[in-house]
Amino acid sequence: MPVIKASSLRDLKNRVNIHDIVVRVVALKKAGGGRFKGLCPFHSEKTPSFNVSADKGFFKCFGCGKAGDAINFVMETEGLAFTEAVEAIAQRFGVPLEYEEGTGGPSRETRSLRQEIFEIHDLAADHYRQAFLAATPPGEFIRDYWVRNRRFTPELAEEFRIGFAPPEDGALAAGLYKRKFSEDALRQCGLFYVRDGAVLTLGALRPRFRGRLMIPIRDHQGRVVAFTARQLELTPADDPAREAKYVNSPETPIFTKSQLLFNLDRARAHVGEGHPFVLVEGQLDALRCWSVGLRTAVAPQGTSITDGQLGLLRRYHPQVECFFDSDSAGQKAALRFLPMALKAGLEVRFLVAAGATKLDPDLLFLERGLAAYAELRAGAPTAMQFACRSLLPDPAAASPEQKSRTAQALFEILAQAESSVARAAFLAEIAVYLRVPPAALERDLRAFLARQSGSRYGAAAAAAPAAPAAAANGDSHARATEAHLLFLCLHHEPLLHALAAQLPHEWIDATHAAGRLLDRILAEAAHNGWSGREGLDQLLETEEEKSLVASLLFEAPGDEDLTKIANEGVRSLQRRFLEPQQRQIELEIASKGTNGDPDLLSLLKQRAEITRQLLNPPKLSLGS
């Protein structure tokens, strides 16, 4: 196991700013005091509660509680083990690492499964790319197909690493097999069919993609994590998915299709004021947009859009233009999409053509380029206008009942928007469109929302957990005492010294991280003095401990009497420690009766001592 030298780790931490690491994943805004804020990558939210302290080198989310340092952040967001995360950061920022002697350098054996599968995908993308460029008849076929059928340029193929899976393709498996990837990685990478239970030999790896155009799918950090493969004339007859126009990689440890948007890694660098995301239906649509200079297009992975994907978009930019096919399936998809987008806090517009002609983004942009986008935008209806038109195309001819039904359907949609300002604006649009008095519509909406919240409350009450919650609370309450004392130690050094001198070690429950850390810090302070924050870093042994400290450091103490709070904490640890003993002694005394048992006297003495201690809890004296 390679072990990175502690000095090297410290050096890395000093040279790399956590802001520069986090900003690759989260759009950060200055929040004053060396702090930055953004939308949390670990839970879904619309208002930022994810904080980064550049000075302290920690992040903390006040929404979901996740916290830690730069290394934790990379571990969590990229799914890496500790050493891998350190190496990834070092590589990115060009900081050399030193390893403890005899532990070796970065080695294949310690790569995680995910890391291996990332590597396999990178190699596979190269392999397919070479086949695309090969001076062979299939190579010529695919380049011709790309340029003549799809009408894309060779440069675009280069830029997006477009490839080709040969109809007979033993070379990919052989190449990977030779590189000694683990059996798990080869089985789980999704590029091969492997019969369950079959011994993994080279022959057992049958390629999933054969005779297809290969589009690499990158995650939002730009790593190839999957492929979409398009059917060609060359797709062999014995391909189990022969009839499928598109075949996608299955879900793997690095690919969750509901959490990924095609081209997001590049589009997110181009969004900004006046440049919203453009959501298109397919990868080739997104490539078409890119090729004409519309760089903010993203596409879901073949299936309908998910909340996770919309949350991902929202993290980078709040506006999205929705560009679906203008056929009825596309319109239905758009109507399903709208409430989800509002719920995610996105501001939506729809790119639709004026006439009833079928509008295919690929074709439109191919023929008319960026000018077509400008025209579509100029006439783009807002979310509510779009919904109104789709639900009731001819309001002038509609009966009052039809209008009322339409209004109810629209309420369903706008109820998803949390901002009351947005709701009011939507309502105004609806009133104009349906030609009904705004006040009447507002009354109906209020009635609708009241009904809805009534039923939601009922559902929540029914789903509420019963008794077990109490036990869990008790447990977390017990732990909270140590965490609280730890918090006081971190923020008020005199208390740290007082506790180090006066809190008996055995009162601390060291079965959880807060207790272990409190115990360790107090012991350090008692025996070796205390060297401040610098010393603290060295005492943190696990990721859980680091995360705990990060989260405690982020909270500021109020102006309460900290010593009084510390005394209450000590008192509660004392009772937790002594009271069970007291009960035990009472039991033993009761069982002895009064027959002059020699143990009885000793038990009575012990009881008296415990009672005395409980009546005189320790009072911390500061600065003595």
Minimum CB separation of residue 271 from Zn ion in Å reads 22
Half-sphere exposure of 244 (CA within 13 A, CB side): 17
- Helix, strand, coil % (nearest 5) of the chain? 55, 10, 35
Nearer to Zn ion, 61 or 434 (CB): 61
Nearer to Zn ion, 61 or 552 (CB): 61
- CA 411-431-373 angle, to 5 degrees, is 85
Minimum CB separation of residue 29 from Zn ion in Å reads 16
Contacts of 616 (CB under 8 A, 6+ apart): none
Nearer to Zn ion, 40 or 521 (CB): 40
Please tell me what DSSP assigns to residue 252: B
For residues 39 and 312, give the distance between their C-alpha atoms in angstroms, rounded to a whole number.
10
Minimum CB separation of residue 306 from Zn ion in Å reads 19
Measured CA distances, 319 to 295, 333, 380 (Å): 15, 18, 13
Q: Which two tokens stand for residue 285?
A: 């649509």
Residue pair 291/239 in contact (Cβ under 8 Å)? The answer is no
Minimum CB separation of residue 342 from Zn ion in Å reads 21
Nearer to Zn ion, 40 or 364 (CB): 40
Contact set with Zn ion (CB under 5 A): 40, 42-43, 61, 63-64
Minimum CB separation of residue 318 from Zn ion in Å reads 18
Q: Which two tokens stand for residue 199?
A: 């011994």
Closest by CA position to 499, among listed 514, 482, 513, 512: 482
Nearer to Zn ion, 40 or 392 (CB): 40
Minimum CB separation of residue 66 from Zn ion in Å reads 5
- Can you spell out the DSSP letters for 298-340? EB-SSS---HHHHHHHHHH-SEEEEE--SSHHHHHHHHHHHHH
Nearer to Zn ion, 283 or 547 (CB): 547
Minimum CB separation of residue 274 from Zn ion in Å reads 29
Q: For residue 499, give the H/E element and its range.
A: helix 493-502
Minimum CB separation of residue 471 from Zn ion in Å reads 27
Nearer to Zn ion, 42 or 82 (CB): 42
Cα pseudo-dihedral 90, 94, 95, 98, rounded to 10:
80
Contacts of 313 (CB under 8 A, 6+ apart): 261, 264, 277, 279, 298, 320, 344, 346
Minimum CB separation of residue 42 from Zn ion in Å reads 4
Nearer to Zn ion, 43 or 46 (CB): 43
Helix axes 420-434, 400-414, angle to 10 degrees: 160
Nearer to Zn ion, 61 or 344 (CB): 61
Residue pair 210/235 in contact (Cβ under 8 Å)? The answer is yes
Nearer to Zn ion, 68 or 166 (CB): 68
Minimum CB separation of residue 547 from Zn ion in Å reads 12
